[in-house]
Structure 1
Amino acid sequence: MMRSGIFSPRKLVRKFAPLARPLPYAGVAPAAAVRRETPLRIQDSLGRIGPLEVRLARNFKEVKKAQRLRYQVFYEEMSAIADARTLATHRDVDPFDAICDHMLVIDHSSLKRNKLGRLKPEIVGTYRLLRQEIANMHDGFYTAGEYDIQPLIDANPGKRFLELGRSCVLKPYRNKKTVELLWHGVWSYILMHNIDVMLGCASIPGTNPDEMATQLSFLHATARAPENWRVRALPELFVDMDRIPNDQLNAKEALRALPPLIKGYLRLGAFVGDGAVIDHQFGTTDVLILMPVSELNSRYVNYYGADASRYAS
C-alpha cells in the first residue's frame, strides 16, 4: 500500500501539547477529569464545521446519550443481539465505558427536548477513546479480547498507545463533513496526549467470511502490517483473511464493498493485523487496525493541520 511522506510526531506534540497532562481517573465521568487538569481547556471544543461541533463528553448524562446513540445504530439499525438489560435501557453499555473518554459530534441546529423539557443539541456521532495509562490501571484494552496485542505493546515500551472503538454516526450524518470532524477531534486528542500508536477493531457487517472474501483478501494483500507491527488474532478466534489469490483480486470491487470507516483508515495509512475475528453478538467480522502516528499519510496530517487548527473553534 502506498504511503506518502513521514513526519516527526514528537516535535509536534512537544510544541502543541498542554502544559500539564490530565491525572488518571476512575469511577468518574472521564472528560470531567480531563477538564479539571488541562490548563488550556482545549477539549471544551475540539473543532467545528457550521452547526456541527466535536468535543469530549463532559458528564455521565452525555455518556448515556452516546450509549443510546450506539444502541440505535448497532442494535436497531444493524444486527447486534441485545441482552435483557440492553433491551430495557436502550443503551449499548460495557465496563470499558467507565474508564474511556467519549468523543461526541453535536449538531447545534438539531434540538431535542430532554426529560426536563429543555431543548438540547442532538448528539449525532461518537467515538470511544482509551489511553494506555488508563487501560493499564484497569483490565487492559478491549481489543485484547480478540487480538494478542500485548507482545506489540511490550516491544514498544517508549510508545503511548490509544485504543479507538465503538465508532458510530447517525445515518443522515454519514458524510464527508462529519467524518472529517471526527478525525479532526481524534487528531487533536492525539496531540493533547502525546499518542504514538492508535489501534482498535473495525467491523465488516456479516459473520460469514466466505461472503466477504474479496474484502478480507484485499486487506491482507495490500495493508497487512509489516513484521515489526504485526499482531495476530487469538488462536481460538483466528479466521484466515488470505482467501483469494492476489492475481484474482478485484481491488475496485473490494474497495467499494469495504465500510467507509475502514476505507478512511486505509487513506490515513493504517495497517491491518493478521487474521479476522467473528463477533456474533454484533453480527460483524472484525479486523485489527494499527496506525503508528509516524506512519500516517502526511497529506492528511497537513490537511487537518500539524496543530489541529483546521476546524479549531
Structure 2
Amino acid sequence: MTIELLESTGVVETSQACLRKTIAVPTTDVLGRIANLETRLARSASEVDAAQAVRYRVFVEEMKAQVAPEADLHKRDVDSWDAVCDHLLVLDTSIEGDPEEQIVGTYRLLRQDVAERTGGFYSASEFAIDTLLARHPGKRFMELGRSCVLPEYRTRRTVELLWQGNWAYALRHGVDAMFGCGSFPGAVPEEHALALSFLHHNVLARDDWAVAARPELHRTMDLMPSEAINPKKALAALPPLIKGYMRLGAMVGDGAVVDHAFRTTDVLIVLPISNISGRYLNYYGADAGRFAS
C-alpha cells in the first residue's frame, strides 16, 4: 500500500475540516451486529479521526510502516483519500464511553462515481486500474482499502462483520465489482514464493478481468513452477485477508508491487459480485440480512 501522507499540520487540519463538511450519515445507519460488535459507517469527523488512530496503531506501531513526521506527531494514519471515502467501522459497544473509544476495526470504501469526481482510485498508484475499468463501462466498481483490526479483536466475528458491512454497502450502491490491495508482510516478494506462485497459477484474473501491476513497479509472482507447489502449504502461507477473498471467489492481478513505506508486498484482489460463492451469499443473505440489525 503506497501512502501519500499530508505533509504539514495545516494540511491535516484542512483535511479534517473537509471531512466535517462531507460526512452526512444517518445516525441509524447500522449495517450489522454480532453480540457486542456492531458495524456501520462513520458518522462524524471525530469517528474518522479515531479510525485513523486505529490505523496508526496497526500500520505504524505494529507493522512498522514509515510515515511522515506529522503522522508520528499526531499518531494518525492520514492521507488525501480520507476526505472522500466512506469509512466502515467495527465497534465494541460493550466499551463504556463515546463511540470513538469503541472503534476496533475499520475499512475504507471508495465508489467509482466518487473516485471519478475526486482524483481516482488509491490502488491506481500501484496497478493499471484504468484498463480494467475501461473494459467494463457499464459496471460500477468499488475499492476496498486500509483494512485493519486491533490485535485482540482479530477473530472470526470481526471478519464476518467487516464483510457484512462491505456486502451491505455494495448492495446499497449497486456495486458490480470490488477490488483492493491485499498485502504480504515484508518488502521481499521472494520470501513469499510459495503463496505468490500459488495465486499466479490458480487464481489469476484473466480475459475481461485481467489487470496488472504498473510496468515500472511490476514484480513477478511466478516464482515456482506449478508442479512444485503444495496447495495445502500454499494456502496456509496466505494472509487471512487474501485467503478470505479467495473463498468468496476473488481473483488476483498479474504481478506484485513492493510498498517500501508500509514494508509490504501487495497484490491486487478483484472480486466481481457475480463470482461470489453461493454458499456465502446464502450465509450473509442476498439482501445482506444475515447480521442486519
Match of 1:199 in 2: 179
Residue 121 (structure 1) shift: 4.7
RMSD: 1.6
Q: Is the 8 A contact 1:162 1:199 kept in 2?
A: yes
**Runs of 5+ consecutive residues of structure 2 not aligned to the other structure:** 1-16
Q: 1:187 to 1:119 in 2, by over 3 A?
A: closer
Q: Partner of 2:267: helix, strand, or coil?
A: strand
**Runs of 5+ consecutive residues of structure 1 not aligned to the other structure:** 1-25, 36-40, 113-117
Match of 1:138 in 2: 118
Residue 120 (structure 1) shift: 5.8
Structure 1 ranges of 4+ moved more than 2 A? 26-35, 118-121
Q: Confirm or deny that 1:33 pairs with 2:33.
A: no
Q: 1:30 to 1:144 in 2, by over 3 A?
A: farther
TM-score, normalised by the number of residues in structure 1: 0.85
Residue-by-residue CA offset, 1:224-281 (whole Å, 9 max, x unaligned): 0122101010011000000000000111111111111011000000000000000000
> Which amino acid is 1:277 matched to?
V
Counterpart-to-counterpart distance in 2, 1:28 and 1:94:
12
Match of 1:76 in 2: 61
Q: Confirm or deny that 1:102 pairs with 2:87.
A: yes
Q: Confirm or deny that 1:89 pairs with 2:69.
A: no
Residue 44 (structure 1) shift: 1.2
Counterpart-to-counterpart distance in 2, 1:247 and 1:120:
50
Residue-by-residue CA offset, 1:200-238 (whole Å, 9 max, x unaligned): 111000111111101110110111012210101001100
Q: Is the 8 A contact 2:164 2:291 kept in 1?
A: yes
Q: Confirm or deny that 1:152 pairs with 2:161.
A: no
Give 1:292's match in structure 2, choosing from 272, 277, 285: 272
Give 2:159's match in structure 1, choosing from 166, 179, 183: 179
Q: Confirm or deny that 1:62 pairs with 2:42.
A: no
Work out the percentage of aligned pairs sharing the same amino acid.
56
> Which amino acid is 1:64 matched to?
D
Give 2:38's match in structure 1, choosing from 53, 63, 87: 53
Give 1:128's match in structure 2, choosing from 89, 92, 108: 108
Q: Is the 8 A contact 2:177 2:273 kept in 1?
A: yes
Counterpart-to-counterpart distance in 2, 1:45 and 1:277:
35
Q: 1:119 to 1:202 in 2, by over 3 A?
A: closer
TM-score, normalised by the number of residues in structure 2: 0.91
Residue-by-residue CA offset, 1:170-207 (whole Å, 9 max, x unaligned): 11111111100110111100110000010111100011
Counterpart-to-counterpart distance in 2, 1:33 and 1:110:
25
> Which amino acid is 1:290 matched to?
V
Match of 1:225 in 2: 205
